[in-house]
Amino acid sequence: MNHSLSLPALLSTLLLSSAALHADVDPSDVPRNVRHFTVNGVEVIHRTSDPANHVIVAKTFLRGGTSALPALVSPAVHELALEVPVLSGPQGMNREAFQREQERLAIGLSIAPGRDFSTYTLRCTDEAFERSWELYTGIILRPQVDETELRNAKDRKALALRNREENPEAYAEFLADSVFFAGHPYGRFAYESDIAPITAGELADHWKSLFQKSRMLVVVVGNIDSATIAARINATLGTLPQGDYVDVPLPPPTAARMPRLVIRPTAGGRTVTNYLAVRHLAPNQSDSLFYPFMRLASFLAGTLFREIRVDRNLSYAPDADFTQARQSYGRISVSTTLVDSVWRTTKREVIDFFRDNVIADQYITSGLDGWMTSRYLREQTNESQANELGRAQLYTGSWRNAYGVIHGISTITPEQMNLAAQRYLKSFTIVIVGDPDKIDRKTYVVSDFGK
C-alpha cells in the first residue's frame, strides 16, 4: 500500500483510461488541468480552477444506486440512508451545533440518490475547505441518525408517496417508468408501506455498505492542488474498507421491444386535462448513434413545441428529451385537453417525419453554435464540471469523454441522425392519465412502431 503524498508520486498513479477514450473526442478539446489518480484505493478526478474562483466542489459518486439494491431492500431505505445522516451531522456533534457550523462556514452538503449511482456533495469556499472537509468526511466516517431528523424524513417521504396519485402529471410519469421498466432493475420504486418499518440501525448499516472504496469515485473541482487533496483523502476516505462492489451488466428493458398503451383515470374523478407520458429506448454513450441521437433529441423537442404549441395551440409546454444512463431512454410529455389530437400530430408530424426523412445537412448544422454555447454556459460552474467528469468516467470508463460533445455533434451526418430515428423512435410505452371516456384507443395503435 502506497501512502506517499508527494505530487510526483501522486502523478505517477495517473490512470489515463486511453482504451476507453471515444474516437470522436478531439484531443485538443481535452483540458490539461485534469488529473486522474488513486489514493490508498480511492479513485479521484481533480480539475483545478482559476485562482479567482474561490468555490470548491467535492462530489463523491457511489456506484450502484437503487438499481443495485438487494431484492428485499426498498429504494426508500437507500434514499433515507443518504438523507438522514447528512441532516444529522457526524457523531460527537449534536444536530444543532452541526447546523450552526454549516451556517457559519456557508457550506452546502447535499445528496442525490439515483438509479446508476448516488452522490454526496460538498460546496465550500477555498478558505473554509479544511474545516468543511472535516465535516463532510466526518459524516462519511462517523455517521449518526438523529431520531428527530429520521422521524421528520420518514413523515415527508410517506406523505409524498401517499400523494403520488394526487398529482396527475407526476402520476403519469411514474406510471410510464413503472410500465416501461417492469421487471428491470430501473423498475424499483418506494411505496408508503415501506416507510414505517425502517429503523435507524437499518439506515446506518446501509450507509456503511455504500461508503466502501470499491464503490467510490471522488471528483474535486476548485482552486486547490492535487497533493492537498491526496493528503486529505488518504487520512479520511482512504481508511474506509475496500469492499468488492462491481457493476453488473444492465440489459435493455423488455418493454423496449413491445409497444404498450396504458390509460388510467385521475384520482378523485374525471378531469378535462389529460397527461400523456411516453417512454422509448435511447442509445447509451458507448453507442455510435449517441451523438446523432443527442442532436435528434434537440430537433424532436423543437419540432414538438412548434407543432403542438405554436401551430395548433394544443398544449402549453410539450416536451421531448432523453435521459443518459447505463440504460438510456427517451421521454415525451404533454398535458392537454385534446390528447388524441396531440398524439396524432406527434406521430405524423414529429416521429414519422424524422423516421421517414433524411434532414439536409444545412439544417443539422444550423443553430449548432448557439446550441453548443448554451450547453457549455450551463456547464461552467464547478459543480456542473464535477458532474460531467464523474458521469463520463462511470458511463464510459474515461473522464476525457466528457469533452467529446463538440466533436461528436459537429461530425454527425444526416444519415446517422435518420438511422438513430429509425432505430430508437419505436416501440413506445404510452401512458395517459385523464378521462378514459374521452380517449379513443384506436388513435394509439402502436404495432407499426415495433419494426
pLDDT of residue 4: 39
* Phi, psi at 285, each rounded to 5°: -65, -20
- Mean pLDDT, the chain, rounded, equals 90
On the question of pLDDT at 75 being above 90, the answer is yes
Q: Is 70 exceeded by the pLDDT of residue 18?
A: no
The three three-digit cell numbers of residue 171, written as one number:
402520476
Alpha-carbon distance values, 371 to 275, 302, 320, 405 (Å): 29, 12, 16, 11
Q: Say which residue the cell 451556517 belongs to.
A: 103
pLDDT at 267: 82
Q: How many percent of the chain have pLDDT more than 90?
A: 77
pLDDT at 19 exceeding the cut of 70:
no
Cα 37 vs. chain centroid, distance in angstroms?
24
pLDDT of residue 446: 59
- Give the three cell numbers for residue 18: 486511453
Give, for 135, the enclosing helix (H) or strand (E). Answer: helix 129-141
pLDDT over 90 (residue 31): no
Indicate the range of 19-28, 74-83, 165-174, 257-266 predicted with least confidence: 19-28
Query: Which pTM value belongs to this model?
Result: 0.90
Residue 11 has pLDDT above 70, yes or no: no
**Strands of 274-281's sheet in order across:** 260-265, 429-434, 274-281, 329-336, 319-323
- Is the model's pLDDT at 174 over the cut of 60? yes
Q: How far apart are CA 281 and CA 300, in angstroms?
A: 15
pLDDT, mean of residues 285-295: 92
Q: Which amino acid is at 88?
A: S
Residue 176: which of 91, 253, 68, 75 has the closest Cα? Answer: 253
pLDDT classification of 361: cutoffs 50, 70, 90: confident
130: enclosing H helix or E strand: helix 129-141
Give yes or no for residue 17 having a pLDDT over 70.
Answer: no
List the single range of 53-62, 150-159, 217-226, 372-381 with lowest mean pLDDT: 372-381
Q: What span, in angstroms and rounded, lies between the C-alpha atoms of 158 and 76?
A: 10
What confidence tens digit (pLDDT) does each residue in 399-440 have? 999 888 888 888 899 999 999 999 999 999 999 999 999 899
Q: Which of 22-31, 222-231, 364-373 has the highest mean pLDDT?
A: 222-231
Q: Give the per-residue pLDDT at 270.
A: 67
Find all residues with CB under 8 Å of 362, minimum gap 6, and list them. none
Q: Residues 109-140: pLDDT tens digits? A: 999 999 999 999 999 999 999 999 999 999 99
Domains and CATH numbers, the chain: 7-239 (3.30.830.10), 254-450 (3.30.830.10)
